[in-house]
Amino acid sequence: MIPYFHVDAFTQTPFAGNPAGVCPLETALPAALMQQIAAENNLAETAFIVPRPGTSGEYDIRWFTPAVEIDLCGHATLASAHVLFQHLNFQGDAVTFHSQSGPLRVSREPDGRLTLDFPSRPPQELTTHPTGLTDALRATPLHVLAARDLLVVFNTEAEIRALKPDYARIAALEYVGVIATAPGTDGIDFVSRFFAPRVGVPEDPVTGSAHSTLIPFWAAKLGKAELRARQISPRGGDLWCQLREGDRVNISGYAVTYAAGELLVNT
C-alpha cells in the first residue's frame, strides 16, 4: 500500500486551484508503476517523494502527468511540501526537493503560504511564429516568445478568458505547452492560462512552472520584481511572485488537503 494525498494547490479552499496527487515513499518505485498510478489518478500531475539517505529535510521528487514524466512542476511540489508540513510532522521551516531541474527549496511563511525557489526561464521573442499557431489558438497574439513553453501575449484579460484553443493543433506545436498571458486588473499584475495537451493536460488549472517564464517576462515589462498573478482557468488560482538575482524566482501560494488515504497497489 502507498500513502496518498490529494491536495489543491494555489488556493485556500477546496475545489479551486490545481489538484495534485502526492505519494510519500520510503524507497523509489519503478518509473512504469509511477506512470500507471499517475494515469489512474488522472490529475494534471502526481508527485512521488523519497527521503534522501543521510540527509535531513531533503527528498528526491518526480512528477508524472497521466501521459508522461515531466522535468518541472510547481503545484505538485507545493502540494508535496504541504503534505510534509501538515501531515507528516516535518519539523523544519524549509524542505529541499532534488529533481531533474536541480534542487528546489520550499519554505513555510508565517502566514501559511509556501514559497517555491524555482529556476528562472526567461523567454526569447520569436522572429517568426510557429506554423499553425494562430489556427491552434483560434486567436492572434500580440507577441510570441519561447522558453520550454511557448508564451503568447495578448492585450487584455478578456482575450485570455475567451480563448478556446484547438487542442489537437496545440499538441502539434512541439512545445511542452502554450502559456497565454495579458496584463491583469484590480491589483493583479498579470493573468494567464496554460495549455499542454502534448503531455496529457489539455488545460492546467494553475501552473507553477509556467511562472518560471512569466515572472521574468512581466518583471522586465512592468519594471518591478514583486508581482501578483492569477491563473484564470475555470478553477483559478492566486500566486505571489518575485524575480530574484541569480536566475531564480520565488512563487508563493497556499494549499489545502482534499483527501488522504492509501493506494492499494502492490510495490
User: Cα separation of 262 and 257, whole Å?
Assistant: 14
Query: How does DSSP classify residue 183?
Result: E
CA distance between the termini of the chain: 7
27 phi/psi in degrees, rounded to 5: -135, 160
Please pick, among 26, 45, 125, 226, the residue that the annotation labels catalytic. 45
User: Got the DSSP string for 159-177?
Assistant: HHHH----HHHHHTTSSS-
Told to judge if 45 belongs to the known catalytic residues of this protein, a careful annotator would answer yes
C-alpha cell at 56: 535531513
What residues are annotated to the active site? 45
